[in-house]
Chains A and B, each alone.
Chain A
Amino acid sequence: MHTHHHNSSLNNEIDFKNNRKIVLVGNPNVGKSIFFGHFSKQYTNVSNYAGTTIDIHYGKWRDNVIIDTPGIYSVSSYNDEEKVARDVVLEADIIINIVDAVRLERDLFLTQQLIDMGKPIVVALNFMDEAEKNGLEIDVNLLSKELGVIVIPTVARLGKGFKELDDLILKARSGIRSNELKERINEILNVTKSEANALLILEGDPEITNRFNIGILSDKDNIYLKRREKVNHTVSLVVKELDKRTTFSVRIGKWSIEPVKGTLILILVLYLLYLVIGQLIARDLVGLTEGELMSKHWNPLVQRTIGSLTLDNNSYKDFQNINNSLLLAEKEYIKAKIEKNSVVIGELRNRIKVFKDKIRDFEKSNPVFTILAGRFGLLTMTITYIIGLLLPLVIGFYFMLALLEDSGYLPRLATLVDSLLMKIGLNGRAVIPLILGFGCVTLGTISTRLLTTSREKRIATTILNFTIPCSAQLGVITVMLIGRGDNPGVSKGYIILFVGVLFGVFIFIGTLLNKILPGKTHPLLIDLPPMRIPKLKNILLKIVNRTYFFMKEASPWFFIGAFVITILQVTGGLEIWESSWSVITENWLKLPRETSTAFIMGMIRRDFGAAGLMSLDDPFQIVVSLLVITLFVPCIASFMILLKERGIKEGLLVWVGALGFSFLIGGIVAQIGSIF
C-alpha cells in the first residue's frame, strides 16, 4: 500500500520501485533522526502520510532509498504513528533497527519482533556513552550471537560507529526466531505472501488481517509473552549493571512531575513561552512583518499596481483620499477620546461614518480592485495575514514545541496535568493542542489528530473553537484590558470578571461534553523519555517540516475565506448582514450599534474583530464585547480546518453553537450588569 505523496521532481532521483528500501526503525527518542541525517546527505524529502500528520522522511543513500519512520514500541496499530510505521516496515528490504543501549528490555522487544518478521536487520546499539554513564556494561558480541544479526555499537551524537554501519548495512541478515513461530508463519505463507504479514496476522493486527481476508484468531498475548521471555533472557545474559546511579537529568525529570516543584517548573516554562511567543514574536516580530513590511510597503504597492491596472486615474485618487481621510479621522477620534471632548467625539463619529460609506460605495463600484486589493483583498489582507502574521507565529510556536518535545518535558507535563484534564474528558496528551491553540486555533485543531479517540478529538476541538483566544486576538485583548499607549484599559475588577467568565465557560463546556458524549476517555499511558538537551539541527528540521505542512494545509482556506467576504462586500451582502445583527447588539448585549461590524470581522479574523472594539470606552461594555468576541465563532481558516477535521455536520454544529453561546454568555453578563 503506497500512500506517500511524493514530490514529482524527487521521484526522478529516488526510484522507489527498483531500488532497495532501507528503513530506519526504533523506539521513540533513540536518536533515529541523527542516523537519518547521516544516511541521506544526497537527497531528502518529507511527505505526509495520507490522512495523518505523520511525517515520513526519505532520502537516497548510495543506490538505495532510505526511509525514516515514527518511533514505535512494536509493529502494531494502536495509533496512526504505529500504522504508518507498520506499513513502511512491511515494504522494507533491509531494516536498520536503532536501539537505546540504556533501555534494552524495552527496545529489544521491537528488535525481536522485526526478527520474527523475517526481515534482514542490522542493529545499531546507540547511546553507548549514556549506558556507560548509567553504570551498564553490554556484551555486544554476545548480543549479536543471541539475536543472530549484526550489532554495531554507536554514539550517534558524535558520529561514532557510522563508518562500521555504512560498511555492514548490506550484510544485513535475518535473525534467530523460535521454530514454533517459524512453522506457524509457514502455515499461512501461501496466503500472506510475506512472513512479515503472516506474523502480524498471527498477532491479530486487524487491518492486515482484513487485507488478506483470512480467518485466523489472534494469538497476540501468547506471542508477546514468549517474545518478552526471550528478550528478558537475552538482556540478563548481555547486560551487567555495575552500579546504580541517579543522573541529574533523572532528578529534573522527577521534579517536573512533583506537584509543587512541577508547578513551579510549569510556571517557568509558560513564562518562557510568553516571552518568546507573546513578546518576541507576536509583538516585536509581527510588529515588523505585519505593521511595517506588509502594511507600509506591500499593501500600498499592491494597491498602486492593481489600481493602475483596474482603475482610472481619478477613481484611484479618490480611493486614496478617502482612505487617508479615514485614517486621519480615526487618529483624531482616539485623541478626542483621551481628552474626553464629547462634542468633537460626536462630530468625528459622523465623519468616520461618512468616509466608511464612501469606501463602501467605492468597493461596490470597483469589484475587481476590491477583491484583489481592498480591505479584505486576496493580495492585501490574505497575504498580510499569511506572511506577516501567521508565518512568524507558527514558526515561533513550532520552535517552542520542538524544544519542549526534544527535551523530554512534554510527556511529563502531560502527566502533571492529566488529572485536571480528565475532569473535562481529556487526558494529559491534550495539553499539546490546547497550548498550541493559544498560538493559533487552526494549529491546535490540526494537532488534535494526536489524540486517541474520536471522543477526545471532539471535546478538544470544541473547547479550542469555543473558548481559546489565539495569540493574535490575545494581543488586542491585552491592550484593551490592561491598556497601552493611547489606550487607558480597565480596572482590575473587570479583568478578573473577564478571565473568570472565560475560565468558567472553559470548565463548563468540557464538563458538559464529558457528561453527554457517549464513551469514556482513554486513560494516560506514556513512556517518559529521559530529559536531554535538545539538538539545534533536529529542532530546525522539525520547524521547517511542520511549518511547511501547516502553511500548505491552512493557506488555501484563507484565500477562499477572503474571497467569500469580498464577494459579499461588492454585492452589498455584508451590509445587510450587519444591519440584521444590530438588534442583538443593541438590545441584548447593550452595546453600540457599530459593534456588530466588529463581530462580522471576527468571523474572518479574530483579532480584526477584537480590534474593531477599540472604539468602546465604557469598561463594562469592553468586557462584554471582549467576552463575545473571544467565545465567538472561529476565524474563517479555523472554521475550514474544523470542517475538514470533524466533518461538515459536526463542524457546522460547533460553529453555530459558538455563535449562539457567545451571545448567550455576553448577553447574560450584560443583562446582569444592567441591573446594577
Chain B
Amino acid sequence: MSLGDVKMGSIIKINEIRDLSTKSHLIRFGIEEGTEVQCFQKIYKGPVVIKFNRQEIALGHELAKNILVSI
C-alpha cells in the first residue's frame, strides 16, 4: 500500500520511494527506504504529515501515493 492509504497515527515502514528527486530530498531528513515513521496527520485528499524522531514533514498527496509502505 502507499503512504496515501495510511491511517492517522499508525507507525509504518517505508518500502519504496518511487520518485528519485523525492528520494534524495527525503534522505536529507533521514528518511529512506527501510525507515520507520509515524503518520502524524492526514488531510483528506491532501498532504500526509509524517513524523520521524522530532521532525514533521508534509508530503503532498501525489508524492504520498508514490511512496510504498507497510505496517
Q: Which residues of A contact B (CB under 8 A)?
A: 73-74, 78, 102-103, 105-106, 109-110, 134, 220-221, 224-225, 228, 231-232, 253-254, 257-259, 411, 414-416, 418-419, 422, 427-428, 523-528, 530
B71 at the interface (CB under 8 A from A): no
Chain B 41-69: CB-based contact to A (< 8 A → 1; otherwise 0): 10111110100111111111111000000
Chain B 11-32: CB-based contact to A (< 8 A → 1; otherwise 0): 0000000001111111111101
Q: Is the CB of A228 within 8 A of B32?
A: yes
Complex formed: what's the CA distance from A590 to B56 in Å? Answer: 55
* Closest A residue to B40 using CB positions: A254
Chain B contacts for A78, CB-based, 8 A:
21, 25
* Closest B residue to A412 using CB positions: B58
* Closest B residue to A408 using CB positions: B56
Q: Is the CB of B28 within 8 A of A524?
A: no
Chain B contacts for A427, CB-based, 8 A:
60
Complex formed: what's the CA distance from A257 to B21 in Å? Answer: 25
With contacts A228-B32, A415-B49, A524-B60 taken as known, whether A134 is within 8 angstroms of B23 at the C-beta atoms is no
Q: Is the CB of A254 within 8 A of B41?
A: yes
25 sample A-B contacts, Cβ–Cβ < 8 Å, listed by A number: A73-B28, A74-B28, A109-B27, A109-B30, A221-B23, A224-B24, A225-B32, A253-B56, A254-B41, A258-B41, A259-B43, A411-B58, A415-B46, A416-B46, A419-B46, A422-B60, A428-B60, A523-B60, A523-B62, A525-B57, A525-B60, A526-B57, A526-B58, A528-B49, A528-B57
Nearest CB of A to B31, in Å? 9
With contacts A106-B28, A419-B47, A525-B25 taken as known, whether A134 is within 8 angstroms of B54 at the C-beta atoms is yes
Complex formed: what's the CA distance from A78 to B58 in Å? Answer: 17
The residue that B61 contacts in the complex, of A73, A103, A419, with Cβ under 8 A, is A419
Chain B contacts for A418, CB-based, 8 A:
43, 46-47, 58, 60-61
Main secondary structure of the interface of A (DSSP, over half): helix
Complex formed: what's the CA distance from A134 to B62 in Å? Answer: 33
Nearest CB of B to A145, in Å? 21
* Closest A residue to B53 using CB positions: A105
Closest 8 A-B residue pairs measured CB to CB? A523-B60, A419-B46, A105-B30, A524-B60, A523-B62, A528-B56, A415-B58, A73-B28
Chain B contacts for A109, CB-based, 8 A:
27-30
Chain B contacts for A134, CB-based, 8 A:
54
Q: Is the CB of B54 within 8 A of A527?
A: no
Nearest CB of A to B5, in Å? 16
Nearest CB of B to A201, in Å? 16
Complex formed: what's the CA distance from A257 to B59 in Å? Answer: 13
Complex formed: what's the CA distance from A375 to B60 in Å? Answer: 50
Complex formed: what's the CA distance from A103 to B30 in Å? Answer: 10
Complex formed: what's the CA distance from A526 to B47 in Å? Answer: 10
Nearest CB of B to A497, in Å? 30
The residue that A103 contacts in the complex, of B21, B25, B45, B55, with Cβ under 8 A, is B55
Nearest CB of A to B67, in Å? 11
With contacts A73-B28, A103-B53, A415-B58 taken as known, whether A525 is within 8 angstroms of B43 at the C-beta atoms is no
Most chain A beta-carbon neighbours within 10 Å: one of B29, B32, B57: B29
Chain A contacts for B26, CB-based, 8 A:
525
Complex formed: what's the CA distance from A418 to B63 in Å? Answer: 12
Chain A contacts for B20, CB-based, 8 A:
221
Complex formed: what's the CA distance from A524 to B43 in Å? Answer: 13
* Closest B residue to A241 using CB positions: B53
Chain A contacts for B59, CB-based, 8 A:
523-525
Q: Is the CB of B24 within 8 A of A527?
A: no
* Closest B residue to A528 using CB positions: B56
